[in-house]
Amino acid sequence: MKFIESIISAVETVVIGVGLLLMAGALFAQGVLGEAFHLKMFEWSWALELSKYSMVWVMGAGASVAVKQRRHMAVDALLLALSPGARRGLLTFVWAISCAICGASAFPAVSYVLQARQYGMASEALGFPVWYAYTAMPFTAVLLCVRFALAAVEEARGGAVVSPAGDAK
């Protein structure tokens, strides 16, 4: 499990780092070179499009990091009323269901990417095939599926004790 965890963490780090650099670089180039120096090649449309696609990738990897750190949104009213053992059982079940939902959502996401590829859809401003950017959907679904599976196994083994406030201890 540690090996899988280290690979996923490395992928998250690269995706978030590269995505943030792309967003910052594109918006800086547009703001400084496009607005200040009035260079046509640095118009808003390509920077906005690149930033939008980068943000989708960053958000997917960020959601996975949130699951890893148990910092995602959660409703904990029921957890407050449960004993630690019952809380562990419920959380294991919730992690497993979340894994199944994310895993199942990967299939239509892959189908959508394949359709975009088949139809030759290209981005308006950048002109590259949009299926490159759309691969963020199955990537996120699979990444979250694995994260939720790891959380379910860890919870079932008694590794992560989550307080009613949602803090992993």
Joined together, the tokens standing for residue 55 give 């943000």
d(CA 102, CA 81) in angstroms, rounded, equals: 28
- Tell me how far apart the alpha carbons of residues 95 and 93 are, in angstroms, rounded to a whole number: 6
Task: Please tell me the predicted confidence (pLDDT) of residue 76.
Answer: 77
Which pLDDT value is given to residue 108? Answer: 97
**Cβ-based neighbours of 95, under 8 Å, separated by 6 or more:** 148, 149, 151, 152, 155
Share of residues in the chain with pLDDT > 70 (%): 88
Average pLDDT over residues 60-74: 89
For 35-45, how does the pLDDT look when each residue is reduced to its tens digit (9 = 90+)?
666 666 656 78
pLDDT of 16 = 97
CB-CB contact of 125 with 42 (8 Å): no
pLDDT of 26 > 60? The answer is yes
Mapping DSSP to helix (H, G, I), strand (E, B) and coil, where does residue 162 land?
A: strand
Report the half-sphere exposure of 162 (CA within 13 A, side-chain side): 27
What angle, 0 to 180 degrees and rounded to 10, lies between the N-to-C axes of helices 84-118 and 136-157? 160
Indicate whether 168 pLDDT > 70.
no
Separation CA 151–CA 16 (nearest Å): 21
pLDDT of residue 99: 97
Q: How confident is the model at residue 163 (pLDDT cuts 50, 70, 90)?
A: very low
Please choose, from the candidates 20, 19, 22, 41, the residue with its C-alpha nearest in 3D space to the C-alpha of residue 30: 41
Neighbouring C-beta atoms of residue 58, cutoff 10 Å: 21
Candidate from 34-38, 84-88, 152-156 with smallest mean pLDDT: 34-38
Average pLDDT over residues 67-80: 82
At residue 3, the pLDDT reads: 92
Write down the pLDDT at residue 39.
Answer: 65
Q: Please give the full DSSP string across 98-137, using - where no structure is assigned.
A: HHHHHHHHHHHHHHHHHHHHHTT-B-TTT-SBHHHHHTHH
Report domain extents, the chain.
Answer: 2-157
pTM reported for the whole predicted model: 0.83
